[in-house]
Amino acid sequence: MKTAVAIIGAGPSGLLLGHLLRQAGVDCLIVERQAADYVLGRVRAGVLETVTTGLMERLGLDDRLQREGLVEEGFNLATDDRLIRIDVKALTGKHVTVYGQTELTRDLMAAAESRGLQVIYEAKDLVLHDVDGDEPFLTYHKDGVEQRIEADFIAGCDGYHGPSRKAIPAPKLRDYELAYPFGWLGILADVPPCHPELIYANTERGFALASMRSETRSRYYIQVPLTDRVENWSEDKLWDELALRFDPLSEHGVTRGPAIEMSIAPLRSYVCETMRHGRLFLAGDSAHIVPPTGAKGLNLAASDVHYLADALIAFHATGDESGLTGFEARALARIWKAERFSWYLTKLMHRFPTDGSFEHKMQAAELDYVGSSETMQRSIAENYVGLPI
Ligand code: FAD
Ligand code: DHB
């Protein structure tokens, strides 16, 4: 098989890129290791910036997003007994939209066939070949038979653990990493949210986030040690912990219900600055990870894809290579700022095991300052809604 752009991974990055290329008439296809249902079963992001909703609108795939997405005009930072509301709408004129990554992925998958976007699921043992030559290709196994796809370009949209980044030779790889000494334990349940807007809380008992997917579905997270396992947490124990942290802060108190999903995710900051190697381009989590505080991961994936799609479309239309040459610098300028914001909010809102009473006083003073300074609130709000692309 031969195509112009072979995309590895059918997460949000790969699906958005595939649709944008097909919409512009650029030949491409997506190769995904998992089955579609498995991809849809991963509960992840929930807060979309306008860069992400804007791409869905550009694709004409935003009907359900417009209907079912919740417009959030503000969110809250909290201590044990104080809510600091960040009035995003008043401070920036913009809002974010609560709409699950699962739903976004579902919309993109559902439209693939009718838009001529081929997605090959359950492609095993994928290997990238000759990415720094003129004729790169992929090999993989489908139903036990080896397949080969030749392409002009390869887009590595295969997440943090995928093979694309690993295909860049170590001497060429420029990367930066910071691991945090805790993870997030999340629960998804069909119960009404405890508060009309998200609450990020730095409490004596550790960080906690009250989020939602709809008016009847809640998503909560708490900070847990890296050694913790989901099996150590019964649903009751987690609801008790959430009630301790959110009952004093929220409008309705925490409503309990059976978990649809519970999982632990470690927190990491990571940037691979080598986002291009020959004919291979990286986009989304394959090139960078942010700690989830601030909800930047999916939205950064969308801005990478915006830059990469425009560069590939321009090249295919006119042979203009400037977008491809400039992709890495353009993407990294936005990535590093989102990394900074996610790192800042993580440091501000979590209890680090190595922190003592002085560091706690510093966090309290900073939150007090945020509470009293419109300038600080504006800075937080403009980063939260997403910096311009
Ligand atoms: P992925 O979603 O990881 O997709 C990569 C795809 O590549 C996968 O489908 C994978 O199966 C496939 N793949 C991997 N290896 C291979 C292979 N060998 N062959 C073929 N295919 C392969 N972000 C936000 O913006 N807002 C939030 O509120 C938010 N909350 C989050 C909460 C949690 C708990 C977590 C874990 C993440 C959160 N994120 C959030 C981050 C967000 O989910 C990711 O940034 C996003 O999924 C990145 O999309 P992607 O397509 O680049 O990568
Ligand atoms: C959610 C996740 C986040 O990381 C965040 O900052 C806000 C919301 C969520 O899953 O709803």
State the ligand closest to the CA atom of 122.
1
Q: Point out the ligand 2 atom lying closest to the alpha carbon of residue 186.
A: 10
- Please work out whether the CB of residue 100 comes within 6 Å of at least one atom of ligand 1: no
Q: Point out the ligand 2 atom lying closest to the alpha carbon of residue 45.
A: 10
The answer to whether 96 and 49 are in contact (CB under 8 A) is yes
Of 75, 141, 267, 285, best ligand 1 pocket probe by most atoms within 8 Å of the beta carbon: 285
- Buried residues in 198-231 as b, exposed as e (16+ CB within 10 A): bbbbbbeebbbbbbbbbeebbbbbbbbeeeeeee
Q: Whose CA is nearest to atom 2 of ligand 1?
A: 11
> What pTM, to 2 d.p., does this model score?
0.97
Q: Point out the ligand 2 atom lying closest to the alpha carbon of residue 98.
A: 11
Structure tokens at 46: 């929930």
What is the percent of the chain where pLDDT is above 70?
A: 100
Of 77, 103, 198, best ligand 2 pocket probe by most atoms within 8 Å of the beta carbon: 198
- Please work out whether the CB of residue 34 comes within 6 Å of at least one atom of ligand 1: yes
- Please work out whether the CB of residue 43 comes within 6 Å of at least one atom of ligand 1: no
Residues with CB under 6 A from ligand 2: 45-47, 198, 209, 211, 219, 292-295
Q: Point out the ligand 1 atom lying closest to the alpha carbon of residue 186.
A: 34
**In this model, does residue 43 exceed pLDDT 90?**
no
Q: Whose CA is nearest to atom 19 of ligand 1?
A: 33
State the ligand closest to the CA atom of 101.
1
- Please work out whether the CB of residue 292 comes within 6 Å of at least one atom of ligand 1: yes
**Domain annotation for the chain: domains and CATH numbers:** 2-72+95-178+268-346 (3.50.50.60), 180-267+351-385 (3.30.9.10)
State the ligand closest to the CA atom of 297.
1
The pLDDT of 175-201, averaged and rounded, is 98
User: pLDDT tens across 276-326, in order?
Assistant: 999 999 999 999 999 999 999 999 999 999 999 999 999 999 999 999 999
CA distances in angstroms from 66 to 56, 57, 108, 112, listed in the order given = 10, 9, 15, 19
How sure is the predictor about 15, in pLDDT bands with cuts at 50, 70 and 90? Answer: very high
Q: Point out the ligand 1 atom lying closest to the alpha carbon of residue 299.
A: 25
- Please work out whether the CB of residue 157 comes within 6 Å of at least one atom of ligand 1: yes
User: pLDDT tens across 146-186, in order?
Assistant: 999 999 999 999 999 999 999 999 999 999 999 999 999 99
Alpha helices in 93-172 (DSSP H): 101-112
DSSP characters over 81-105: S-EEEE-HHHHHS--EEE--HHHHH
State the ligand closest to the CA atom of 282.
1
User: What pLDDT score does 66 carry?
Assistant: 97
CA 92 to ligand 1 center in whole angstroms:
28
State the ligand closest to the CA atom of 296.
1
How sure is the predictor about 45, in pLDDT bands with cuts at 50, 70 and 90? Answer: confident
Beta strands in 111-258, from DSSP E residues, in sequence order = 118-120, 124-129, 137-142, 145-156, 175-189, 199-203, 206-214, 217-224
